[in-house]
């Protein structure tokens, strides 16, 4: 949205030469999930096709689906192991390159599955929670306070 506004004023949008870092320090899992649902529903509203296509970045979920559909066949189980290993190695390499601390390795596949579920769930509703308020994500990605009893 910011890029669109910049371009609308005749200016150019370029990639930064530095890598911005974001730390989400939510106090508990419930608050983190509410935060991520707010992000996912806003992204879905602004770019629904891009949001659903973004699921490809969570290969562990697809490998798990293959295992389930196959009835826990040997080849899909091997595929799941390879995908999990590749995902863990990639995450560790990125963390190393960026000088970040590696979290317990088993959290990487869990994170993929959780993120996959959040993106899917974002298509089934428009309400989000933020700082104790119930909000509604509009079709253009705007977030407004939910009206309660005509307020």
| Cβ-based neighbours of 46, under 8 Å, separated by 6 or more | 1, 140, 141
Beta carbons of 125 and 41 less than 8 angstroms apart: yes
Backbone angles phi, psi at 74, to 5 degrees: -65, -45
**Six token digits for residue 142:** 């705007």
Return the HEC string of the chain: CHHHHHHHCCCCCCCCCCCCCCCCCCCCHHHHHHHHHHHHHHHHHHCHHHHHHHHHHCHHHHHHHHHHHCCCCHHHHHHHHHHHHHHHHHHHHHHHHHCCCCCCCCHHHHHHHHHHHHHHHCCCCCEEEECCEEEEECCCCCEEECCCCCC
Whether residue 149 is predicted with pLDDT greater than 50 in this model: the reply is: no
User: What number of other Cβ atoms are within 10 A of residue 118's Cβ?
Assistant: 16
Tens of pLDDT along 1-52?
A: 788 889 999 999 998 888 777 777 889 999 899 999 999 998 998 899 999 9
Tens of pLDDT along 95-141?
A: 898 888 888 999 999 999 999 999 999 999 988 887 788 888 887 77
Q: Which long-range contacts (CB under 8 A, 24 or more apart) does 99-105 make?
A: none
User: Quick one: pLDDT at residue 151?
Assistant: 42
**Six token digits for residue 12:** 């150019």
Whether residue 147 is predicted with pLDDT greater than 60 in this model: the reply is: no
């Amino acid at each position: 949205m910011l890029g669109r506004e910049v371009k609308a004023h005749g200016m150019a949008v370029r990639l930064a030469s530095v890598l911005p870092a974001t730390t989400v320090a939510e106090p508990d899992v419930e608050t983190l999930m509410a935060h991520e649902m707010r992000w996912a529903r806003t992204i879905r509203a602004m770019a629904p096709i891009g949001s659903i296509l973004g699921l490809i970045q969570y290969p562990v979920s697809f490998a798990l689906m293959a295992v389930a559909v196959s009835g826990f066949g040997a080849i899909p189980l091997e595929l799941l192991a390879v995908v999990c290993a590749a995902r863990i190695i990639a995450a560790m390499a990125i963390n190393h390159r960026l000088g970040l601390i590696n979290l317990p390795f088993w959290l990487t596949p869990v994170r993929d599955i959780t993120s996959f579920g959040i993106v899917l769930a974002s298509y089934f509703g428009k309400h989000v929670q933020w700082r104790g308020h119930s909000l509604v994500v509009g079709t253009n990605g705007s977030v407004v306070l939910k009206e309660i009893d005509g307020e």
